[in-house]
Amino acid sequence: MSPRQKILVIGAGELGYQVLNSLAKHPHKAEAVAVLLRPSSISSTDPLKKEQNESLRSLGVSLIPGDIIEDSESALVSIFKGYDIVIGCTGFVSGKGAQLKVTRAVLEAKTPYYIPWQFGVDYDLIGRGSPQDLFEEQLDVRDLLRSQTETRWTIISTGMFTSFLFEPSFGVVDLQNRTVSALGGWENRVTVTTPADIGRFTAEIVLGEDWGKDFADCPIFVGGDTVSYEEVAQLMESVTGKGMKRNVLALPEIKAALSEDPDNGILKYQAVFSQGRGVAWDISKTWNMQRGLYATTAEEWARNSLV
C-alpha cells in the first residue's frame, strides 16, 4: 500500500487539528485528508468553531459527519471503508468504550493502516490495575490490535502534552504561589511533547520516506523533552527569575486522597506519574531525535507560554 492515499482523522481538538494541519502541509501530499466531526460541530454557529472549520477547509480537509459515541459500530465501519489510513485523535473525553468501539470498526472495515488514540504514556509498562482506570481500555485496544494481522498499526507514545505539566490543576507548577510539587519524588521524570510536534511527527510517520520500514505493528516513542521534577523547579526559577518553593506529593498521600475521592481524575493521573514507571524515556533514543526531528523542550515552552 502506498501511503499517499486517503486519510481520515477522528476529531479536530487540541491534537487533531495539529495532525490535520501537518498532514495537509506535508511535502508528500496524501490523495485526500478528511476529519470526522460530529454533525453539530460541522453546522455550529459558534464563531470559534466556524473559524476552525473554515481553516480546515482552506487546508483542503474534508469535513465528514459522524459521531463515535452516538453512531453504531456498523455506521462507523461504512465510513472507515472509504479510507486507507485512520488516525484517532479524540482523547479520553469520548468516555469509556469509545476507543474499543472505534478499533473494532477499523478492523471490521479492513482499514489497511491505523494509528489509534494512544498518544500518551507506555501503557504496556504501566500495566493493568493502574490508578487511572481509563488506561485499562488502552491495553484492551493493544490486545485487539495484536490479535490480528490484516490491519497494520502504529502506536505513537508521546508522554504528556507539555502544557499539561504546567497546568495549575495538575498540581505540579503553581506559578501564582511560586511552588513546584514533585509527584513521588524529585528524581522522578516525565516525558512531554507539544501537540504541534506530535502533529508533525504523525504526518512524517504516515507520509515520510520511512513509511512502513521499522515501526509497523508496534509502539514507537517520540518526545520533546524528558525532565525530572527537580529540573522543572530549576527551569521555572530560570524562566521567572524568582525562587520556587518545593513540595513533594508522595504516592501514599495521593492514594489516600484518591480513596476519599475515587472519581477525581487529576488524583488518578498524579498517582500514575508519582509511581515513576512508564511515563518517561530517553529523548536521545526517540524516533524523532534519531531522525533529526527537533521538538520543543519544556523550558522553551515555558518561556514562550508562561512569561
Rounded CA-CA distance 290/281 in Å is: 14
Mean pLDDT of 254-278: 96
Percentage of residues in the chain with pLDDT exceeding 70? Answer: 96
Q: What cell was used for 16?
A: 487533531
Predicted TM-score of the model (pTM): 0.95
Give the pLDDT of residue 209: 79
pLDDT in tens, 91-112: 877 678 899 999 999 999 999 9
pLDDT in tens, 28-45: 989 999 999 999 999 999
- Residue 3: pLDDT over 70: no
Confidence grade of residue 271 (pLDDT, cut at 50, 70, 90): very high
Percentage of residues in the chain with pLDDT exceeding 90? Answer: 91
- Residue 1: pLDDT over 50: no
DSSP labels for 242-306?
S--EEEEE-HHHHHHHHHHSTT-HHHHHHHHHHHTSSS---GGGSTTGGGT-----HHHHHHHHT
Q: Where are the domains of the chain?
A: 6-156+195-222+282-293
Pick the CATH number of 6-156+195-222+282-293 from 3.40.50.720, 3.30.1330.10, 3.30.70.2700, 3.40.50.1820: 3.40.50.720
Quick check: 296 and 224 in contact, CB under 8 A? yes
pLDDT in tens, 163-220: 999 999 999 999 999 999 999 999 999 999 999 999 999 999 999 877 656 567 999 9
Quick check: 192 and 161 in contact, CB under 8 A? yes
Give the pLDDT of residue 148: 97
Give the pLDDT of residue 213: 60
Rounded CA-CA distance 291/210 in Å is: 10
pLDDT in tens, 59-88: 999 999 999 999 999 999 999 999 999 999
